[in-house]
A = this chain, B = another copy of it.
Amino acid sequence: MKDVAARAGVGLKTVSRVVNSEPGVTPDTERRVQEAITALGFRRNDSARILRKGRTASVGLVLEDLADPFYGPLSRAVEEVARDHGALLINGSSAEDPAREQELVLALCARRVDGLVVIPAGDDHRYLEPEISAGVATVFVDRPAGRINCDAVLSDSFGGARDAVAHLIAHGHRRIGFIGDQPRIHTAIERLRGYRAAMSVAGLPVNEAWMSLGATDPSRVLAAAEAMLSGPEPVTALFAGNNRVTVTAVRVLAARPGRAALVGFDDFELADLLSPGVTVVAQDAAQLGRTAANMLFRRLEGADEEPRQIVLPTRLIARGSGEIPPAHRVAS
């Protein structure tokens, strides 16, 4: 910039004005500055600008896994809102590891992102307190913050799970298995609660062997499903706690004779084209991201309300797999 000013024979401030298209520069001066800019190949350094201005026009997004199809539309929605506000998106995957989540979040804070959208892996976010009081707006998505009071946008995991299980019960099932995410994760606990509530309302007993929380990698889910579908008290239906579990459950069931019923949490592409179509409790990932991002920018524009929690409804979509009746030898 100094070189540009020298070459154009003007002051630094004038160059700054031209670069930012501020008013108050004669057309003639502007032309000289523009010429110097192209001649010297000048490119404004936004780091310096940021240092001076205080705002970085960037927001951080921390999620579990960029490669998970559930997070694609969510990220995209956050990005679009950020773009509308002239902000870039810096993001990273926690790989469901709380230590890595914290490392990422703090790295983002050190970069002075204006705000943070977090899909937490951990359940203790007190490490964020200094950052939040220093002014980093933060909104949690999909799962609430742990041990701090913070904005959050969630899906109705409890209600959705309850509806899913009630649906299976309405189709005659009495022995229903639940395979969910790790118990550290809020949605896993909520969906388990919903499962229990539906069973309890229907007056059905629950066997501990019908509930399995843990990692959602295929091998773990496969083992859990096989165990529930075999043994002395086999389940006649499965409720899968998220899209990763559902996909593996579909594979397990396709490979077995005498199909058990299945309802999955999260919709997924082509679920309707499988045979049978997969009945799901759908949540709107894009809407989740959009709502969170809007909340974030409202905070950034100075909204000074108490932290809020927004819960978005889920929707049961019947496609066939959830309407399969219990196998004959199992009918009550």
* Residue positions of A touching B, CB distance < 8 A: 41, 43-48, 50-51, 56, 58, 65-69, 71-73, 75-76, 79, 83, 88-93, 107-112, 130-131, 133-134, 247, 250-251, 254, 268-270, 273-275, 286
Docked complex Cα distance between A110 and B56 (Å): 12
| A46 contact set on B, CB distance < 8 A | 110-112
Q: A43-B110, A89-B91 are in contact. List 5 more A-B contacts (CB 8 A).
A: A41-B130, A46-B112, A67-B72, A79-B93, A89-B90
Docked complex Cα distance between A126 and B190 (Å): 53
The 6 A-B residue pairs with the shortest CB-CB distance in the complex, in nearest-first order: A67-B76, A67-B72, A46-B110, A66-B76, A67-B73, A66-B75
> Of B93, B110, B251, B270, which one neighbours A45 at CB under 8 angstroms?
B110
| A275 contact set on B, CB distance < 8 A | 275
Cβ of A274 to closest chain B Cβ, rounded Å? 6
Decide: B108 and A88 in contact? CB cutoff 8 A. yes
Residue of B nearest to A50 (CB): B47
Given contacts A73-B67, A133-B41, contact A251 B273 (CB under 8 A): yes
| A44 contact set on B, CB distance < 8 A | 110
Residue of B nearest to A106 (CB): B43
Residue of B nearest to A111 (CB): B46
| A274 contact set on B, CB distance < 8 A | 270, 273-274
| Most chain B CB neighbours (cut-off 10 Å) among A131, A247, A273 | A273
Residue of B nearest to A269 (CB): B247
| A273 contact set on B, CB distance < 8 A | 250-251, 254, 274
Cβ of A135 to closest chain B Cβ, rounded Å? 11
Given contacts A46-B110, A92-B88, contact A79 B56 (CB under 8 A): no
Residue of B nearest to A49 (CB): B110
Docked complex Cα distance between A134 and B93 (Å): 30
Docked complex Cα distance between A50 and B41 (Å): 21
Docked complex Cα distance between A255 and B232 (Å): 42
Cβ of A102 to closest chain B Cβ, rounded Å? 14
| A50 contact set on B, CB distance < 8 A | 47
Decide: A83 and B72 in contact? CB cutoff 8 A. no
Q: Report 20 cross-chain contacts, Cβ distance below 8 Å, ordered by A residue.
A: A41-B130, A41-B133, A45-B110, A46-B112, A47-B47, A47-B56, A58-B90, A67-B72, A67-B73, A67-B286, A68-B72, A79-B92, A89-B91, A90-B91, A250-B270, A250-B273, A251-B273, A254-B273, A268-B269, A269-B269
| A48 contact set on B, CB distance < 8 A | 51
Docked complex Cα distance between A83 and B270 (Å): 33
| A134 contact set on B, CB distance < 8 A | 41, 43
